[in-house]
Amino acid sequence: MIAYDLRCANGHSFEGWFEDRPTFLDQKKRGLISCPVCNDTAIVQVPSRFAIRASQSPAPQATEAPAEAVWNRIGKQLGEFVEQNFDNVGCDFAREALKIHYGVSAPRNIRGVSTESEEKILKQEGVEFFKIPMPPPDSDP
């Protein structure tokens, strides 16, 4: 058995297994090989990644930060945005959210903390809110 990496005219890549090279060429000539995605029979063989020898030059250094570093940066940016654009009402979050919802207080962005029971009340009253886990404040001097 021999496996070939194949590609159709629409760019879909797939693998085909054949008894030998003459069998592959015969099936290709007769239009018996088709793309499993689009059924196209205009198939070409592409170089296999396993058949390509890696160069001896050193691997290029990664230019992107690891996923954890990216998520940490996004979390920090989100925290800074919330801190700069939302009024911190602390433990009065549920009370202030209800006041805004019913028009007692002017609409504004607020942030704070609430208990599970307060969150249940907010949901029952139809107050839309969402929770964002905030990273701890920077301890850098």
Angle at 11 between CA 10 and CA 14, to 5 degrees: 115
In a domain, 130, yes or no: no
Residues 43 and 73 both lie in one domain: no
In a domain, 85, yes or no: yes
List, edge to edge, every strand of the sheet that includes 13-18. Answer: 13-18, 2-8, 43-46
Distance CA 6, CA 33 (A): 10
Q: What local confidence, expressed as pLDDT, does residue 55 receive? A: 59
In a domain, 26, yes or no: yes
Residues 106 and 73 both lie in one domain: yes
In a domain, 63, yes or no: no
Number of structural domains the chain divides into: 2
DSSP calls for the chain: -EEEEEEETT--EEEEEESSHHHHHHHHHTT----TTT----EEEE--GGGSPPPSSPPPPP-SPPHHHHHHHHHHHHHHHHHHHSEEEETTHHHHHHHHHTTSS----EEE---HHHHHHHHHTT------PPPPPP---
Residues 40 and 87 both lie in one domain: no
Residues 40 and 77 both lie in one domain: no
What pTM was computed for the model? 0.48
Q: Do strands 13-18 and 43-46 pair parallel, antiparallel, or not at all (unpaired)?
A: unpaired
Q: What local confidence, expressed as pLDDT, does residue 138 receive? A: 59
Distances in Å between the Cα of 49 and the Cα atoms of 21, 22, 27, 73 are 18, 22, 23, 35
Residues 43 and 75 both lie in one domain: no
User: Which range of residues forms the domain containing residue 8?
Assistant: 2-47
User: pLDDT tens across 94-137, in order?
Assistant: 999 999 999 999 999 999 999 999 999 999 999 998 888 776 66
Residues 114 and 78 both lie in one domain: yes
Residues 76 and 116 both lie in one domain: yes
Residues 118 and 79 both lie in one domain: yes
In a domain, 8, yes or no: yes
Q: How confident is the model at residue 139 (pLDDT cuts 50, 70, 90)?
A: very low
CB 112 within 8 A of CB 93: yes
In a domain, 53, yes or no: no
In a domain, 41, yes or no: yes
In a domain, 33, yes or no: yes
Q: What local confidence, expressed as pLDDT, does residue 49 receive? A: 64
Q: What local confidence, expressed as pLDDT, does residue 103 receive? A: 93
